[in-house]
Amino acid sequence: MNPILFSNSIQLPAVPGGSTLQWGPVNTDFTFTYYSSNPGVLSFGIGTLAGSYFATAGGTGTTITYNGITKLNGATLAGNNGVPGIVKQLKLTGQTAAISGAALLTPAGGYTTGLGFYEISYVATMTTAGSSGCVLGGTTGFTITYTNANGDSVTKTTSSSTPNVCPGTSTANSLSGTVCAYVAGGAVITYSFGFTAGSPTTGAYDIAIYGKWLA
């Protein structure tokens, strides 16, 4: 097995499984390249190391932060260093009315400070069947609204023609879809979801939404 090579020119020899490699100074950023003629699983633990590539939570080594993967099988990766990330997870239960203009992604970190490509996916499911006239998705279905790279306000739905809706008269009724958006730096993505209540039984639904930052 070849040695592990560190970008700060420190070279450490390969060690048997279970051994510990230790280096300093503490809290120093580093990158490494691992070469092996016998591909397998590379595992390691984090102690008090911190920085932009790896970080610890309270010194326990339970959190790893990385800046992405630059190459895969020799090919340079594009976008967010080739690693999409789930930057928002939202789960609402027992909903009995439509949702209008709720904030989904609010600028609060590195992934929202610049122009970005996002993929928003949702699943909505009836959990209490409504009476006749109940419609999951209402008249509009699922939509997102955001400011694009040109500074225009854009509203998109998961369907380019007819809104994605279905009856809400059974707990077997469910909707899902994905919509993509190229969002201006610092812009907030909001979402809306339609619902038409039944009568006399309104009906209720759960909805889960995931926001993925691609680049």
pLDDT at residue 215 tops 50 = yes
pLDDT single digits (tens) 140-179: 999 999 998 888 999 999 877 788 999 999 999 999 999 9
C-alpha–C-alpha distance, residues 199 and 134, integer Å: 8
Read off the tokens for 59. 């010194």
Q: Which domain holds residue 130?
A: 85-213
pLDDT single digits (tens) 202-214: 999 999 999 988 8
pTM of the model: 0.68
Q: Does 74 map to a domain?
A: no
> How many structural domains is the chain composed of?
2
On whether both 105 and 172 belong to a single domain, the answer is yes
C-alpha–C-alpha distance, residues 5 and 135, integer Å: 60
Place of tokens 């100074």: 25
Q: Does 72 map to a domain?
A: no
- CATH number for the domain spanning 176: value is 2.60.120
Decide which of 11, 38, 67 is a domain's last residue: 67
On whether both 113 and 152 belong to a single domain, the answer is yes
